[in-house]
Amino acid sequence: MIILSLSEIQLTNLPTPWGTEKGICYLGKTFLPIDVHTTQQAAIAACRQDLDAGLMSIVVDEGDRTSLWWYFSEDMGMKGMKPNPR
């Protein structure tokens, strides 16, 4: 599990099959936002569930909230999968 702060990431706009999306590029991987939590503990629990399900996600501490971001690859996009908020 990876927990990052805003100072460790760079937000970018990414082209996806659904249009331009706000995303993060981190260690050569692309992540799209999936959910926002009021506590870091809730985001960590959601991330752990994703990991248990075989998904790759990261937690970003934004100060007043904590967000969960899912790994996005071209293969996922081509299958028509779009992240949906929980």
Contact predicate 85/35, CB 8 Å? yes
> What is this structure's pTM?
0.77
6 token code pair: 């805003």
Domain ranges for the chain: 2-78
Quickly state the pLDDT bin for 74 (edges 50, 70, 90): low
Quickly state the pLDDT bin for 27 (edges 50, 70, 90): confident
Whether 83 has a pLDDT exceeding 70, the answer reads no
* pLDDT (mean) for 3-11: 89
79 token code pair: 């299958």
Phi, psi of 17 (to 5 degrees): -60, -15
* pLDDT (mean) for 4-8: 90
47 token code pair: 């991330």
* pLDDT (mean) for 71-79: 61
- As a CATH number, domain 2-78 is 3.30.200
